[in-house]
């Protein structure tokens, strides 16, 4: 309509002025061309309003959102250098988080979102309710690359500084799929494949170990652990060795005996020498912690351990273990059914794994254990406090380090600045908390609170390029003074914190 009115207006103007103004043929052609150009532009504006200078390929861009905040906008917490939320309108979880030598950050997890930051995710459907995401960020918190892969990530490995291996499980399937990504741009560097674990059936992958300390002349190997459930409901665990490109199985399948109820506690790997598996077994009215050590040479079980019925017929449930390679000792932490509110530690010389060399009891339930050069730190939790103990290389000499009042749900224990400081991440006053003991004075902790009751810390990593900072990977379910945005049920929250 506008075009028609414009033509009529110009014709009327020309009719009124044709007696006074004479046009040459060239001027008439120019005038007609000008009108045609204007007409085309008007048609484009009216009929094709979505056309822009840069064509949009694929889905439209997400709505504007404030997902990144630097220190100058975080006026309420001077410990935070920057924070960012990543996610969509669904739910995201964090699986692994690491930093490469050049300072780039990588976070891996699962998502069921297909919008906002994850609008390029094409692998969520009724047949595949979750997919795996990988996000690469600069050390300053700016997203650089995104990648999405079908299936749920079970384990990640970084065999080199420029590659990442994803071991995944598809929905309603126990098949193990392997994807290898370049950490430079998150492109896939080799064709994805399904791992051949025949003749195992109903085997779900639970752990991957990369054996990089093989003897000279022997290529690196992979060791994969699987949980297997048979038709009778019995559970067992198996380990399989593969060559360096995961195309060929090496040796036989190592398998633990079946039990009606069996849960994995921990796996300690000793490179190419072997591995130790600790499980809790309930069978025939017994509840025992059972451990087996295998050698890689011939797959034989060389040492067995059973805690429970062997200890005055009391049932024992393991909660964790640690091994000190410095002096060939290891310890198992757990509870006895006769004292469920106490932690019982049993220590062993690895050469005499069936013989308890020392036993120790302490109030509260074991929350975490952290190995040190000469021993280990044990954290126990009660209803009102959190206590930390240190056991030195003699393994029988307990020394109380201090008490962190009202700190619970410990997620990480790590050393900072060359081992001089100890950091414990957990929750205090219903907020994520970072407690730091400086200068080896483990009896004097200072705490930093970040986020709100809606956040849960998953991983903590030191900044490899500045020892005075750490990176925190958490899940977030809301907005607070430290959390600038939230898109869905649960987002990924990354924070750089000065410690």
CA angle 447, 450, 454 (to 5 degrees): 130
Q: What pLDDT does residue 390 have?
A: 64
**pLDDT of residue 79 exceeding 70:** yes
Q: Between vectors from CA 206 to CA 201 and to CA 212, what angle results, nearest 5°?
A: 110
- State the number of CA atoms in the 13 A half-sphere of 97 facing the CB: 23
Instruction: Tell whether the model's pLDDT for residue 256 goes beyond 90.
Output: no
- What is the band of 157 on the pLDDT scale with cuts at 50, 70, 90? very high
Question: Which of 40-54, 283-297, 307-321, 478-492 is least confident?
Answer: 40-54
pLDDT confidence of residue 28? 53
Percent of the chain with pLDDT over 70: 77
- In this predicted model, which residue has the larger pLDDT, 26 or 124? 124
Rounded Cα–Cα distance for residues 386 and 406 (Å): 6
CA distance 450 to 480: 10
* Beta strand extents in 395-490 (DSSP E only): 398-405, 407-416, 421-428, 431-437, 445-449, 455-462, 469-476
Chain-centroid distance, C-alpha 21: 79
Mean pLDDT of 424-449: 84
Q: Are 253 and 238 in contact (CB under 8 A)?
A: yes
Looking at residues 375-401, what average pLDDT do you find?
A: 68
pLDDT band at 404, cuts 50/70/90?
confident
Per-residue pLDDT averaged across 439-454, rounded?
82
Contact in structure between 449 and 463 (CB atoms under 8 Å): no
pLDDT of 19 reads 42
pLDDT band at 409 (very low <50, low <70, confident <90, very high): confident
**What's the confidence (pLDDT) of residue 321?**
87
Query: What pLDDT is attached to residue 437?
Result: 83
Burial string for 256-288 (b: 16+ CB within 10 Å, else e) reads: bebbeebeebbbbbbebebbbbbbbbbeeeebb
* Over residues 260-286, mean pLDDT: 83
Check pLDDT > 50 for residue 18. Answer: no
**For 51-60, what is each residue's pLDDT tens digit?**
322 222 233 3
Would you state the structure tokens that stand for residue 396, as one six-digit string?
């029988």
Phi, psi of 180 (to 5 degrees): -115, 120
97 against 65, higher pLDDT: 97
Residue 435 has pLDDT above 60, yes or no: yes
Q: Is the pTM for the entire model greater than 0.75?
A: yes
Give residue 223's pLDDT: 92
Q: Is the pLDDT of residue 208 over 90?
A: yes
What's the pLDDT band for 323 if we cut at 50, 70, 90? confident
What's the mean pLDDT when you consider all of the chain? Answer: 79
Question: Measured between alpha carbons, how far is 166 from 193 in angstroms, rounded to an integer?
Answer: 11
Q: What is the pLDDT of residue 183?
A: 93
Looking at residue 350, what is its pLDDT? 74
Given a cut of 80, whether residue 399 has pLDDT beyond it is no
Higher per-residue confidence, 11 vs 333: 333
**Residue 276: closest CA among 261, 288, 258, 289:** 289
For residue range 457-492, list pLDDT tens digits in order: 999 999 999 999 999 999 999 888 888 888 888 999
113 pLDDT band, cuts 50/70/90, is very high
Domain boundaries, given as residue ranges, for the chain: 1-16+26-55
Q: Per-residue pLDDT averaged across 406-412, rounded?
A: 81
The span from the CA of 492 to the CA of 460, in Å, is 13
pLDDT in tens, 224-241: 999 998 888 889 999 999
Q: Is the pLDDT of residue 83 over 70?
A: yes
Whole-number Å distance between alpha carbons of 406 and 497: 22
pLDDT at 39: 52
Predicted confidence band at 216 (pLDDT cuts at 50, 70, 90)?
confident
Q: pLDDT (tens digit, 9 = 90+) per residue, 41-74? A: 444 433 333 332 222 223 334 444 557 888 766 6
**DSSP letters along 158-216, please?**
EEETTEEEEEEE-TT--PEEEEEEETTT--B-S--EE---TT--SEEEEEEEEE--PPT
| pLDDT > 90 in the chain, percent | 29
* Mean pLDDT to the nearest integer, 172-176: 85
For residues 192-213, give the mean pLDDT. Answer: 88
What average pLDDT does range 193-215 have in this prediction?
88
64-78, 239-253, 329-343: least confident range? 64-78
């Amino acid at each position: 309509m506008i075009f028609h009115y414009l033509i009529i207006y110009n014709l009327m103007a020309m009719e009124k002025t044709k007696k006074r103004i004479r046009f040459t043929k060239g001027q008439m052609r120019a005038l007609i061309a000008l009108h045609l150009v204007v007409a085309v532009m008007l048609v484009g504006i009216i009929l094709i309003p979505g056309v822009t200078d840069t064509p949009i390929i694929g889905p439209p861009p997400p709505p504007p959102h404030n997902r990144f905040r630097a220190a100058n906008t975080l006026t309420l917490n001077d410990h935070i250098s920057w924070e960012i939320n990543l996610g969509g309108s669904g739910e995201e979880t964090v699986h692994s988080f690491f930093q490469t030598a050049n300072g780039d950050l990588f976070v891996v997890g699962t998502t069921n979102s297909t919008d906002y930051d994850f609008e390029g995710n094409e692998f969520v459907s009724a047949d595949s309710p979750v997919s795996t995401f990988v996000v690469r960020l600069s050390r300053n918190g700016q997203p650089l690359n995104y990648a999405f892969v079908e299936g749920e990530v079970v384990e990640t490995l970084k065999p080199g500084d420029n590659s990442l291996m994803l071991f995944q499980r598809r929905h309603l399937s126990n098949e193990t799929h392997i994807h290898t990504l370049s950490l430079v741009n998150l492109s896939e560097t080799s064709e994805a494949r399904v791992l051949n674990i025949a003749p195992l059936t109903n085997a779900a992958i639970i752990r991957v170990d990369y054996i990089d300390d093989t003897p000279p002349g022997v290529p690196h190997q992979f060791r994969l652990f699987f949980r297997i459930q048979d038709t009778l409901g019995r559970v067992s665990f198996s380990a399989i060795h593969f060559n360096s490109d995961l195309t060929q199985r090496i040796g036989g399948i190592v398998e633990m005996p079946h039990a009606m109820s069996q849960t994995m506690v921990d796996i300690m790997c000793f490179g190419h020498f072997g591995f130790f598996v600790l499980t809790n077994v309930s069978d025939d009215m017994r509840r025992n912690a059972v451990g087996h050590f295998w050698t890689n040479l011939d797959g034989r079980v060389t040492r067995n351990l059973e805690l429970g019925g062997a200890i005055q017929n009391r049932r024992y449930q393991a909660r964790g273990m640690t091994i000190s390679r410095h002096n060939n000792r290891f310890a198992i932490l757990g509870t006895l059914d006769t004292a469920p509110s106490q932690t019982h530690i049993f220590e062993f010389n690895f050469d005499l794994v069936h013989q308890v060399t020392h036993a120790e009891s302490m109030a509260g339930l074991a929350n975490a254990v952290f190995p040190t050069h000469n021993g280990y730190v044990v954290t126990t939790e009660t209803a009102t406090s959190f206590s930390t103990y240190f056991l030195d290389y003699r393994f029988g000499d307990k020394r109380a380090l201090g008490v962190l009042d009202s700190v619970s749900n410990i997620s990480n224990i790590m050393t900072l600045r060359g081992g001089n400081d100890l950091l414990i991440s957990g929750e205090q006053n219903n907020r994520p908390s970072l407690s730091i003991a400086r200068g080896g004075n483990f009896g004097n902790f200072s705490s930093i609170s970040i986020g709100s009751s809606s956040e849960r810390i998953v991983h903590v990593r030191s900044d490899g390029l500045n020892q005075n900072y750490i990176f925190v990977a958490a899940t977030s379910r809301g907005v607070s003074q430290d959390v600038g945005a939230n898109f869905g049920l649960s987002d990924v929250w990354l924070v750089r914190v000065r410690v």
